[in-house]
Amino acid sequence: MKINILLRVYKRKSIRVLPLILSLILVLFVGSHTIAVPTKSTEILWDTYGVPHIYGKDNRSAFYAFGWAQMQSHGDLLLRLYGQARGRAAEYWGEKYLDSDRWVQTARVPERARSWYKAQSPTFRSYLDAFATGINAYASQNPNLIDDQIEVVLPVKAEDVMAHLHRILNFTFVVNPEDVLDLSKQKLQAGSNGWAIAPTHSASGKAMLLANPHLPWSDLFLWYEAQVTAPGIDAYGATLVGVPVLAIAFNNNLGWTHTVNTYDGWDVYELTLAGKGYSFDDKVRNFETKTLSLKVKQKDGSLLEQPLVVKSSVHGPVIAEKNGKAVALRVAGLDRPGVLQEWWDMARAKNLTQFQTVLKRLQLPMFTVMYADREGHIMHLFNGQVPMRSEGDFKYWQGVIPGNTSKTLWTKIHPYQDLPRIVDPKSGWLQNTNDPPWTTTFPAAIKADNYPLYMAPRFMSFRSQRSARMLAEDDKISFDKMVADKHSTRMELADRILDDLIPAARKYGQDLGQQAANVLEAWDRQANADSRGAVLFAFWVQQMHFDKDKGFSKPWNENSPRTTPDGLANPESAVATLQAVAAQVEKTYGALDVPWGKVFRLRLGNVDLAANGGDGKLGIFRELDFAPGAEQTFQAVGGDSYVAAIEFSNPVRAMALTSYGSASQPGSTHISDQLQMFANKKLRPVWRDRSDILAHLEERKVF
């Protein structure tokens, strides 16, 4: 195939043949796909799973094509998200978006996005302009494929791209509006698994990386898989819809993934109102006040204007006022506009030194970085714009902070060298499942006592314990075993607690309790589609309201992080709960040992499959989040979303899956077309070489 490419190139009279032929021969014999085949045109090669492989004649052209590709796959969604990021969604689509607009405008997202755009280098600004131009070009040439109600957002500007990014990162991930309104609850179900395996722990002697974010399967959380090839870059990975660069990616030399870390980059301050302002350092300071006008589309199509008064203290915008008090929100990183450039340059790096040089910019506000490369290095970085706080531990800063003194007002963030980080641990492996960095590997490589108490909390979840167990139990782990472990549905909590629950049920249980004990004893302790007993156990755990310090006779202990918590604090009460749950399960489903997949389903469009996987709180590595569905069933609404397994061999070996498919646009054949593989615990091969892509080509677009 490669020789055929050379012959076709030779026949093109417009090319100076000899130098090109010599350079291509050099590439073919020196190493596999180290340099992309030069091209005079820009094109998108769509493979049979709807993944775009973008070949740009220059970087601006690649950004243009990426904008076009995202519109073809997710046009309606992308434009709706941009409309929300403008803070004008209620103007476009009605009152149901009014709270969203208030949040975006109060946070000054559109205003800051304009300044962020201007702060880009002229070169990178031109890339963002090209991405927006690609979006508009697709919409102009395919007007019938865009929802008429969504077209009002057009034309898109690069400022909209920045606003969307800003809304996602700083005002959804760093701080979610629902979390601000109720500090006692964390409502955003965002998580991830990430592994980095060194050559010493790899069966092939090559470093490996596992990327596995867990996000809701809708809205601004959808992942979009792509390959971007242009001068200086040949990267494969995924990003969130509407973001113009890859956020999780690998190239021929290195790769990284992100996990949502235990990062605290925001605080709420309670202010005492005084006069026309608030008390601060024994003086009265006036609020900075700005009045905006929100337009709300009515059912008859008319627009109703509503004023929005945005007050800001020295801390940030005021989000609530009551009984002589006000609450102001402070968010880190609002002066750091370079995250897109940082991700872009991470994908262009060739080694660990270059990669860390990019990371040191600290433009990415949060997310753990799990890294592996061809040279055999692995790294865990607790990345984030962590405020330098004067006092208090992590728990203290989760509450409402006194806002009447400058002593509690942070103004700086920790530099890169202050952040928890480990490169090439003795164990040969690193893992993170949204836990603090202290348990990333064993023996422990990052000591919590060496960092401020507010840097991160101290705990290790059952999912993280399961993750570490799977990595530690193999002296050498193969690529295939890594993929198999990725799909593990075994419940670490069941392994921990059934040896207490089953004997207690035998001792205290009545007839139904005895039957429940029999079901649990026969159960395989997994959440596979045919697992019988998993439903009973999961529903029992839900009613027990366990946490690391509640419900267990032995709470979690950082000196025994992988074997605690353990035991039942009140076995008799636990059995009473088990009997009540058993009665409900039998009444609802007709049997105590109802198969997991009968109750928990994968439903997208017309596809309805038995699910496997479940809540990470059960200690399941393959996490799925469910919501109530039809006929007493539950359907997956989040969790395992994008998976990439990479081995840095020559050539790089990689497999991937986007659970819900590569498109959301109505009429696409790539909505849910990967869901059966997901149900079967399979990944698909990643096609990166042009010859492989052409062998699985569905569509070609040339610009």
Angle at 248 between CA 247 and CA 253, to 5 degrees: 120
CA distance linking residue 439 with residue 132, whole number of Å: 42
- Classify domain 60-181 by CATH number: 1.10.439.10
3-state secondary structure of 93: helix
Backbone phi, then psi, for 615, in 5-degree steps?
A: -60, 130
User: Cβ distance 220 to 168 under 8 Å?
Assistant: yes
CA distance linking residue 365 with residue 125, whole number of Å: 20
DSSP assignment of 527-553 equals --TT-BSHHHHHHHHHHHT-BTTBSEE
Other CB atoms within 10 A of residue 75 CB: 26
- What is the biggest distance separating any 2 CA atoms in the chain, rounded to whole angstroms? 87
The amino acid at residue 397 is W
Structure tokens at 565: 């918590």
Cα–Cα distances in Å, from 409 out to 270, 282, 331, 454, 588? 12, 15, 11, 14, 53
CB burial of residue 20 (10 Å; 0-12, 13-18, 19+): middle
Closest CA to 421 of 454, 388, 447, 385: 447
Cα–Cα distances in Å, from 464 out to 37, 382, 511? 42, 16, 36
CATH 1.20.1440.230 correct for 266-331: no
User: Cβ distance 403 to 315 under 8 Å?
Assistant: yes
Which residue spans within 137-242 are E strands per DSSP? 191-197, 208-216, 223-230, 233-240
Other CB atoms within 10 A of residue 475 CB: 9
Cα–Cα distances in Å, from 119 out to 115, 246, 309, 335? 6, 21, 27, 10
DSSP state of 173: I
Contacts of 448 (CB under 8 A, 6+ apart): 436, 438, 455, 456, 458, 558
CA distance linking residue 259 with residue 508, whole number of Å: 42
CA distance linking residue 385 with residue 394, whole number of Å: 15
CA distance linking residue 298 with residue 306, whole number of Å: 12
Closest CA to 139 of 127, 47, 226, 147: 147
Cα–Cα distances in Å, from 142 out to 59, 74, 136, 563, 702? 24, 13, 10, 58, 15
CA distance linking residue 84 with residue 527, whole number of Å: 38
Write the pLDDT tens digit of every residue in 202-219.
999 999 999 999 999 999
Closest CA to 99 of 29, 176, 165, 32: 176
How much is the CA Rg of the chain, to the nearest whole Å?
Answer: 26
Pairing mode, strands 43-47 and 653-658 = unpaired
Per the listing, tokens 């469910």 go with 626
Contacts of 655 (CB under 8 A, 6+ apart): 483, 644, 645, 683, 684, 685, 686
Angle at 334 between CA 177 and CA 90, to 5 degrees: 40
User: Cβ distance 75 to 251 under 8 Å?
Assistant: no
For residue 404, is it left (φ>0), alpha (ψ between -120 and 50) or beta? alpha
Give the CA count within 13 Å in the CB-facing half-sphere of 377: 18
Contacts of 692 (CB under 8 A, 6+ apart): none
Specify the pLDDT at position 255. 98
Low-confidence residues in the chain, pLDDT < 70: 1-39, 181-189
DSSP state of 102: H
Question: Quick one: CA dihedral 362, 364, 370, 371, positive or negative?
Answer: negative
CA distance linking residue 460 with residue 259, whole number of Å: 15
Chain centroid to CA 658:
12
- Classify domain 492-620 by CATH number: 1.10.1400.10
CA distance linking residue 232 with residue 478, whole number of Å: 31
Claim: this prediction has a pTM higher than 0.75: yes
Specify the pLDDT at position 23. 36
Per-residue buried b or exposed e for 601-617, using 16+ beta carbons within 10 Å of the residue's own CB: bbbbeebebbbbbbbbb
Angle at 214 between CA 209 and CA 216, to 5 degrees: 150
CB burial of residue 279 (10 Å; 0-12, 13-18, 19+): middle
Closest CA to 122 of 165, 59, 38: 59
Closest CA to 206 of 684, 642, 643, 645: 645
Structure tokens at 265: 């980059």
CA distance linking residue 281 with residue 179, whole number of Å: 28
CATH 3.60.20.10 correct for 192-241+249-265+336-486: yes
The amino acid at residue 349 is A
Specify the pLDDT at position 181. 66
Closest CA to 408 of 271, 274, 309, 311: 271
